Structure 1
Amino acid sequence: MKKFADDLVLDGDRHIEQQQAISDKALRINLNKNIYGSFAEIGAGQETVRHFFRAGGSSRTIAKAMSAYDKSFSDAIYTVEDDKRYVTESRLIKMLSYETKLIEERISRNENPNRTFFSYANTVATIDFAKQFKGHGWVGIKFQTTPGEEYSEIVLHIQFKETDSKLQQETLGILGVNLIYGAFYQHHDPKKLINSLYDHLDKDQLEIDSINFSGPAFQGVDNRLMSLYLVKNGMTEAVMFGPNGLSLLPATTIYRKNVLALRGSFRPVTLVNTNMYKRSLNSFLEENNLTEDKTLVLFEITLSNLLHEGVLDEEDFLHRAELLCSLGHTVMISNFKEYYRMVEYLSQFTKEKIALTIGVSSLLNIFDEKYYTKLNGGILEALGKLFYKDLKIYLYPMKNEEGEIINSNNLKVALHIKDLYKYFKKAGKIVDIDYDEENLSILSREVLKQIQQREDGWEKMLPEGVASIIKNKELFGYKEKQKI
C-alpha cells in the first residue's frame, strides 16, 4: 500500500515538472515581443493555446485563438473538402493558409515592422466512445524567421496511442507547444527539432508517422531523410515518400489499394529490379483482374538494410532514394525485418489484395526457423500471419555458381520444413514469374563495385537514364573515384 502511495506521489511530481517545463517554453515565446500569431484548433479543444494563456504575457503572442468545432462553421470558414472529411492534410493546409492570410490582412506591417508572424493549427479526432479507434490528427505551423520573409511550414501527422480522450488532449497540447517552440528556436537543426517534439512525452503516448518541412527556413532539407529519421528514432515503424520526395501518410496512400511490395537494397537499382517489378506487376494485375490506378507498387527498404556496421549511412540512403524517385516509384522505409510484420502493417490500411515480389534468397529466409524464435508459435505462426488473407509471393529466380537456374520447383529448403513449403507451393501461394536470363547474372553489389572503381560496362546493367543520374550527381562514390 505504501509503494502504491509513493508511486502516486512520484507520478504527481513528474506531472508538475512536465507542466512547468512546458509552461517555461510557452513563456519564452510569450516574452519574445517579435513572435505574434494565431491558433486554430479543431477536434480536441484548444489544448495548445491554453498553455500560452496560462504561462503569462500571452497578449504579446496571441492575435487570435479559435476552435471552429461545429462542422458547418468549419466549412463556412475553410470551405468543404472534396471527400467531406475534416481530419485531413488538405484541411490543415487550408487552415494554415487562411489564418496566415488573415493575420497579414489585419495586422499592420507598418505598425509591427519587427514582428514575425505565425499560424498554428491542428485538426484531430481523439479516441471514440467504444475505444475501437484510438484517433489521429494533423498538426502544423506556418511561420516566419525574419519579418516580412516568405513563410516556412512544418506539417506532421500523429497517431494517438493512449486510450483516454483527456490524456490525448493533454498530449496534443504538449506536442503543439513543442512544435511552435521548435519552429522558432530550433529550425536551423530539423533533426533536433524532430527530437524535441517528444520533449516531456513518451513514445507510447504518440506516434509521428509523417513530417514535411518547406520554405526558406528549410532550404536544403531533404524530407526523405527526415522521414528516415522518424523510423531510425523509433517514432514510427514505417514511413513512405513519393517520387517528389515528400512524405506520404501510409494510411491514406495504402487505403483501399491493392499492394505489390518489393523489398531490396536498390544499391543501385538494376535491370533485375526493373524486371522483377514489371513482370510481377503484370501477373498481379492479370491474375486478379486489377487495374493499375487501384494498385500501389511499393519499393521497400528495411532500416537494417541501411545500416553499415551499425551506423546509418544517410548519404547512401539518399542516393538510393534519388534513383527510385527518379524512376517514379513510391518508397517505404520500415523497421520490419520479417516479411510477416510488413504484411500485418499493410493489412491495417487495406482489405484488398496484397502480394510480395522477392528473390530466391529472400524466400529461403522466410522458411528459415531462426528468424522466428521470439514467436510462441515459431515458423508456423509467422507463415500463418504472412499468408493471411490470400497473400501471394511472386518469385524471381536466381542462377547459382554452377549456372543452374533456381526457382520454386527446385529450391532446396531444410528437410523438416520441406512438407510445409510444398503445402504453400501447391496452394498457389508461391508463383514463379517470367525473367530475362541474361539479367540473372547482374548483382547489385558487383555493379556498385564497378561504379566505385570506374570499370567499364556497368551502365548497361541499369535501367535507362539511371547511369546518367549516377554520373551527373556523383552517387555511390563515383565522384571520389573520379578524383584519383
Structure 2
Amino acid sequence: MVEHDKTLTTEQKALAVNLNPTQYGTIVEIGAGQEVARQFFSAGAAAGTIAKTMSAYDMQVSDDIYGKAGRYVSRERVEQMLVHEYDLLHSRLDEVRSEDTQYFSYAATVTARSYSQKNECHGWIGIRMQLEPKAPPSEIVMHVRMLDETNKEQSEALGIFGVNVVYGAFHYHKDPKVFIESLLDNLVNDFGQKRIEVDLIHFAGHTFETVENRLMNLHLVRSWCCRAVMFDAKGSSEVPGSMLRKKDVLVIRGSFKPPTKVHVDMTQAAMKQFLEEEGVQGDEVFTVAEITMAELANDGETDDTGFLARVDLLNKLGYNVLISDYLRFFRLRSWMRRYTQNRIGIVLSILDFDQLFNESYYDGLEGGILEAMGKLFSGNTNVYVYPTRIGGKLVTLDNVEVADNTQYLLKHLTENKHLVATKTWNDENLHISARNIAKEIPLGQGDWEKQLPDPIRDEIKARCMFGYCELPEK
C-alpha cells in the first residue's frame, strides 16, 4: 500500500525529485508565469532534473511549436504539448543519457486573473512520463479551477500544484487514489479553504491500463478536490463548466437506486412547463440527474463500482449525471449558477418537502431556512413540484402539510410562483418507490419489473445489478 506523506513541504517535494538522478524532463507552462519551474529551481539541484523550461505565450509561436488547436486553454492543447515535448526529449537525449533515465514532460495551459478580464480562471494540466526506465509512456491529465483572487496568488498556487503533480506521479502512481489525495497538499488553509479545485482527471497509458477513470473522478469528490463531477449521457467524464456553460438546465435530484418510471414522469412533466418559460429554447436545455454523496451514505453504499451502476442506468434514459457533495438544494443551485446565467429548473417531489421545510435541515446556516429559501429561489430559477400518493390520498402543492411555523413561508413561495405545481402527472405511477424496489430486486422476478422503464429493467437483469439473481420460473 502506498502511503501519502502529508508532512512534506513543496520545497521538500521539489528537492526529492531534483535529487533523483533518473528523473529528467521538461516543464512547459502557458499562462500565469513559470511558477512550477521556479519551484524546482528554488529548491536546488534542479540541473539534475530539468532539461528545459519554456513558456510559449504568443499564439503564433505556440501554433508553430505544437500545431493548431481549436482553443488554447483546452485538453487538445495540453495533449499536444505533452506529446511534442516528451518525444523531443527522447529524440535529443536517448543516445547521450543513461539507460536508467525516466523521462517526463509536464505541461500547463491556463487562463489566470488578469488586469483587463474577470473571466473564469481555469486550465488544463498534465504529465507524460516513464515510470520505469525504457517503459512506454503513461499520462495523467487534469482540469483545474483557480480559486484565489489575484494573478500573483493564482500563479503561486499553480506552482505548488505542479510540484504535487510531478512528485505524486513518480511516488504515488501505484495507487491513483493516493495521487489524487496528494494534489492539494499545501493548498488548503486552516479553515479548509482550497486554492485550487480539480474537477476532471484522466489516467492513460502503460501503467494505468486497468484504471477505471470514472471511479477516479468520483474520488475527486470523496477526497475534497472538488464539490462535483459530471458524466455525459454516454457515461464519459466531462468538465462541468464546459457542459453547463450558457445552457438552460433542468435538474432532477434523487438516489436513483434504481431509476423508476416516476422519475421519468417527473422529468417529462417539468420539461413541458420549463420549455414554456421565457427565453428557454428546447435545443439548449441540458437535462441532468444529480446524486448527492449524502444519498450514498444514507443508502449504505460503500462500493463505488456499484454506485457507478446508477450512472449507467441514468445514461440508458439519456440523462447527463452530476455527482456532488451538496446536501442542501440551494447549494446545488448556487454551484450551477457558476457556469450558466440562463434559466435553471429543479424538479422536486412532494416527498422532498420533509427536508425542504424542515428547519433542522438548515442548522448551522446563519439565516436558517429563510436564507436557504432566498438562495434557492433567487434569479431565473423555477422549482417544479410533482405530486405523490400517501395512504391513497393525492398530495399536491395545494394541499401538502408542513409545520405550523413554515406554513406562511410555503404560502409566500407558492403565491409568488417560486414553487410551481406540475400541471400533469401520471397517476398510475405515483405509488412507485425506488427504496421499496431496491428491497425487492434481490428476491428475483416480481412486480417491481413493471415499475421500471424497460431499458432499466433489462439492464438490471442482464448485469445482475442491485443484488438481482433471477429465480427459476414456477
**Which bracket does the TM-score occupy, shorter chain normalised?**
0.7 to 0.9
Deviations 1:53-100 (A, max 9, x none): 455554554343211022332233334443xx4333332223223323
Aligned twin of 2:66:
78
More deviation, 283-292/254-263: 283-292
Aligned twin of 1:428:
417
Aligned twin of 1:273:
263
More deviation, 296-305/214-223: 214-223
Aligned to 2:106, the other structure's residue is in SS state strand
Aligned twin of 1:178:
164
Supply the distance in 1 between the matched residues of 2:133 and 2:279 (Cα, whole angstroms). 57
Deviations 1:402-430 (A, max 9, x none): x1221112212223322322232223331
Supply the distance in 1 between the matched residues of 2:59 and 2:448 (Cα, whole angstroms). 58
Deviations 1:333-372 (A, max 9, x none): 1122111111111112111100101111113422232223
Are residues 99 and 23 of structure 1, via their aligned partners in 2, closer, same or farther at CA, if it must alter by over 3 Å?
closer
More deviation, 89-98/446-455: 89-98
Aligned twin of 2:398:
409
Are residues 147 and 283 of structure 1, via their aligned partners in 2, closer, same or farther at CA, if it must alter by over 3 Å?
farther
Deviations 1:307-335 (A, max 9, x none): 14877442332221222234332111112
Contact 2:445–2:471 under 8 Å retained in 1:
no
Aligned twin of 2:125:
139
Aligned twin of 1:159:
145
The 5 A counterparts of 1:383-394 are 383-394=373-384
Supply the distance in 2 between the matched residues of 1:52 and 1:389 (Cα, whole angstroms). 47
Contact 1:212–1:246 under 8 Å retained in 2:
no
| TM-score relative to the length of structure 1 | 0.86
How far is 1:43 from its partner? 0.9
Aligned twin of 1:230:
220
The 5 A counterparts of 1:319-330 are 319-330=309-320
More deviation, 236-245/109-118: 109-118
Identify which of 193, 198, 215 aligns with 1:208: 198
Match status 1:478 vs 2:464: no
In the alignment, residue 88 of structure 2 is paired with which amino acid? L
Match status 1:42 vs 2:30: yes
Match status 1:122 vs 2:112: no
Identify which of 349, 357, 360 aligns with 1:359: 349
Matched-pair identity in %: 38
Are residues 286 and 151 of structure 1, via their aligned partners in 2, closer, same or farther at CA, if it must alter by over 3 Å?
farther
Supply the distance in 1 between the matched residues of 2:284 and 2:465 (Cα, whole angstroms). 34
Aligned twin of 2:249:
259
Aligned twin of 1:316:
306
In the alignment, residue 152 of structure 2 is paired with which amino acid? K
Aligned twin of 2:52:
64
Supply the distance in 1 between the matched residues of 2:258 and 2:65 (Cα, whole angstroms). 48
| TM-score relative to the length of structure 2 | 0.87
Aligned to 2:432, the other structure's residue is in SS state coil
Structure 2, gaps ≥5 residues long: 1-6
Aligned twin of 1:8:
none
Over aligned residue pairs, what C-alpha RMSD do you find? 2.9
Are residues 334 and 19 of structure 1, via their aligned partners in 2, closer, same or farther at CA, if it must alter by over 3 Å?
closer
More deviation, 472-481/152-161: 472-481
How far is 1:263 from its partner? 0.3
How far is 1:130 from its partner? 7.7
In the alignment, residue 309 of structure 2 is paired with which amino acid? H
Match status 1:90 vs 2:76: yes
Deviations 1:86-144 (A, max 9, x none): 33333222322332343454454798765443321011233334895683322111223
Supply the distance in 2 between the matched residues of 1:472 and 1:224 (Cα, whole angstroms). 21
More deviation, 246-255/472-481: 472-481
Deviations 1:152-192 (A, max 9, x none): 32111222233343343232222112212222332221110
Aligned to 2:179, the other structure's residue is in SS state helix
Aligned twin of 1:285:
275
Aligned twin of 1:9:
none
Contact 1:157–1:209 under 8 Å retained in 2:
yes
Aligned twin of 1:441:
431
More deviation, 231-240/56-65: 56-65
Contact 1:47–1:172 under 8 Å retained in 2:
yes
Supply the distance in 2 between the matched residues of 1:460 and 1:379 (Cα, whole angstroms). 39
Aligned to 1:286, the other structure's residue is in SS state coil
Match status 1:26 vs 2:17: yes
In the alignment, residue 121 of structure 1 is paired with which amino acid? A
Aligned twin of 1:7:
none
Aligned to 1:428, the other structure's residue is in SS state coil
Aligned to 1:207, the other structure's residue is in SS state strand
Contact 2:112–2:121 under 8 Å retained in 1:
yes
More deviation, 205-214/190-199: 205-214
Supply the distance in 1 between the matched residues of 2:471 and 2:137 (Cα, whole angstroms). 41
Aligned twin of 2:239:
249
Structure 1, gaps ≥5 residues long: 1-15
| Number of equivalences | 461
Are residues 275 and 406 of structure 1, via their aligned partners in 2, closer, same or farther at CA, if it must alter by over 3 Å?
same
Are residues 89 and 390 of structure 1, via their aligned partners in 2, closer, same or farther at CA, if it must alter by over 3 Å?
same
Contact 1:270–1:444 under 8 Å retained in 2:
yes
Contact 1:451–1:477 under 8 Å retained in 2:
yes
Aligned to 1:307, the other structure's residue is in SS state helix
Contact 1:407–1:432 under 8 Å retained in 2:
no
More deviation, 87-96/305-314: 305-314
Aligned to 2:199, the other structure's residue is in SS state strand
Contact 2:11–2:39 under 8 Å retained in 1:
no
Aligned to 1:171, the other structure's residue is in SS state helix
